[in-house]
């Protein structure tokens, strides 16, 4: 078994980011939301689901919220069982399988009559992705020492950004030049055509990429690091483990303050990531090519952001660095609200805003994960359970964020108002973080 701090072990862990980051980029942010919009009729279209009429964008927002709520409910229970049994890797593999095969199943979402396929497997894919992250993130404290964790966390995100960009570029050529691959455009109800088959193949590629590259991680990651020998009543003992960790969390004031701040700024960060493509599509009327170019730009700049801000945190500390990124997120929210949709140069403004967003995206995700890992007690063997609170906080934040976005949009008819509301979450996150005190590894 590879030892903690070993370069090969760290690279194998980071490689899961390479494997799974194609899901949030291609499915959550770039391609699937655009395909969903095309299939369901475009901006402000009405669709029928479960016998009820919905605005298509509002339904999509609520669908994501539901999937995050499921993960928030099950992850503390499953992670405590995983910690007690010492088999985090098995849970990681299960959720990877669930997510990757659900993404592949989106291949069968080829028309409005199969809306249930798109909704059902979007939910399952989201559960698979976010569920796997609970156990993946929990390995950070087991594969790297505290002084390594900022750089190791950054390495993971950098792997993810680069890997997902490679696949997205391949998919972009499929969507823009389907004839290169022999794909035939399908007519829609309005007489226009869209490369439906190219979209379907892209979903298959994401699932295969995710599942295939994850095998390298699974091969090298240890299982049962602490050599636990569980008894048969593992479910009951798992709940006891959860109760014990929850009691410990309540007695760690710095950890509680960080989780409160993380909850608030994550509501803004994750909602913007999830719905940026639909904002550019429906609010600004940008073509698919411009949207995907912007998303590619965000990913590439995020590589720089993850690297740059991990170095800045070495100089000034995690807390100050995170507060800087939160201030920039507030400016991004106001910038999106003020984007001139009627301007002929709106695409250039969107690119510029995407560049700034990418810079702080990489920084915020990297530092949030490593900061939390440094706040966990060094002698704990319940890393998955501790990280379940981190992930539950994030999922509930996304539920609140996406629900708020959808609610404000349904009330005002404007995504701009929804984006502006998100700036409130960032502001409150900054205020709460100001109450954090320095610790041994977090300054």
Write a three-state SS string for 210-237. Answer: HHHHHHHHHHHCCCCCCCCCCCCCHHHH
Report whether 256 contacts 439 (CB < 8 A): no
Task: For the chain, state the CA radius of gyration.
Answer: 21
Pick the closest to residue 203 from 352, 76, 347, 31 (CA basis). Answer: 31
Name residues of the chain where pLDDT drops below 50: 187-191, 234
Report whether 407 contacts 305 (CB < 8 A): no
Q: In the beta sheet, which residues pair with residue 46?
A: 55
Beta carbons within 8 Å of 297's beta carbon, 6+ residues apart: 351, 354, 355, 358
Query: E strands within 190-299?
Result: 193-194
CA distance 281 to 194: 15
Report whether 270 contacts 394 (CB < 8 A): yes
Check residue 232 and give its pLDDT: 55
> Collapsing DSSP states into helix, strand and coil, what is residue 340?
coil
Structure tokens at 220: 């090298």
Report whether 250 contacts 256 (CB < 8 A): yes
The string of DSSP letters for 354-384 reads: HHHHHHHHHHHHHHHHHHHHHHS-TT-S-HH
Q: pLDDT tens-digit profile of 351-373? A: 888 888 888 888 898 888 888 88
Check residue 348 and give its pLDDT: 83
Structure tokens at 50: 């479960």
Structure tokens at 424: 């409130």
CA distance 79 to 158: 26
Q: pLDDT tens-digit profile of 375-401? A: 887 766 666 677 777 878 888 888 888
Tokens 């005002």 belong to 412
Query: E strands within 166-325?
Result: 186-187, 193-194
Check residue 187 and give its pLDDT: 45
Terminal alpha carbon distance of the chain: 33
Q: In the beta sheet, which residues pair with residue 186?
A: 194
Give the domains, in start order, of the chain with CATH numbers.
7-222+235-433 (1.20.1250.20)
Report whether 278 contacts 28 (CB < 8 A): no
CA distance 270 to 65: 11
Check residue 190 and give its pLDDT: 47
pTM: 0.79
CA distance 67 to 71: 6
Tokens 């035939």 belong to 184
Dihedrals φ, ψ of 49, to 5°?
A: -145, 130
Report whether 382 contacts 76 (CB < 8 A): no
């Amino acid at each position: 078994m590879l030892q903690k701090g070993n370069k090969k072990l760290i690279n194998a862990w980071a490689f899961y980011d390479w494997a799974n980051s194609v899901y949030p980029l291609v499915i959550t942010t770039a391609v699937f939301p655009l395909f969903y919009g095309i299939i369901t009729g475009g901006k402000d279209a009405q669709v029928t689901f479960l016998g009820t009429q919905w605005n298509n964008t509002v339904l999509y927002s609520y669908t994501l919220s539901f999937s995050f709520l499921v993960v928030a409910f099950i992850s503390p229970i499953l992670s405590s069982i995983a910690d007690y049994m010492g088999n985090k890797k098995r849970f990681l593999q299960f959720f990877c399988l669930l997510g990757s095969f659900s993404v592949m199943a989106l291949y069968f979402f080829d028309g409005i009559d199969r809306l249930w396929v798109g909704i059902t497997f979007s939910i399952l894919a989201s559960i698979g992705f976010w569920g796997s992250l609970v156990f993946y993130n929990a390995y950070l404290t087991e594969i790297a020492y505290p002084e390594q964790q900022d750089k190791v966390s950054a390495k993971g995100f950098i792997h993810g950004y680069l890997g997902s960009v490679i696949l997205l570029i391949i998919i972009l050529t499929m969507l823009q030049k389907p004839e290169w691959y022999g794909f035939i455009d399908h007519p829609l109800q309005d007489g226009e055509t869209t490369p439906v088959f190219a979209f379907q193949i892209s979903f298959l590629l994401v699932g295969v990429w995710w599942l295939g590259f994850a095998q390298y991680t699974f091969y090298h990651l240890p299982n049962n690091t602490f050599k636990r020998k569980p008894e048969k009543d593992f479910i009951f003992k798992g709940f006891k483990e959860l109760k014990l960790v929850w009691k410990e969390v309540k007695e760690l004031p710095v950890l509680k303050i960080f989780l409160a701040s993380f909850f608030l700024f994550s509501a803004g960060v994750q909602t913007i990531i999830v719905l940026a493509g639909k904002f550019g599509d429906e609010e600004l009327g940008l073509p698919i090519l411009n949207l995907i170019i912007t998303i590619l730009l965000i990913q590439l700049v995020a590589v720089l952001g993850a690297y740059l801000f991990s170095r800045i945190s070495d100089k000034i500390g995690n807390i100050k660095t995170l507060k800087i990124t939160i201030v920039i997120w507030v400016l991004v929210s106001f910038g999106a609200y003020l984007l001139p949709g009627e301007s002929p140069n709106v695409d250039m403004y969107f690119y510029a805003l995407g560049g700034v967003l990418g810079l702080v995206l990489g920084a915020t995700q990297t530092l949030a994960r490593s900061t939390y890992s440094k706040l966990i007690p060094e002698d704990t063997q319940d890393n998955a359970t501790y990280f379940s609170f981190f992930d539950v906080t994030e999922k509930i934040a996304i539920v609140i964020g996406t629900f708020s976005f959808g609610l404000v949009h349904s009330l005002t008819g404007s995504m701009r108002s929804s984006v502006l509301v998100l700036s409130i979450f960032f502001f409150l996150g900054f205020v709460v973080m100001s109450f954090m005190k320095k610790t041994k590894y977090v300054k």
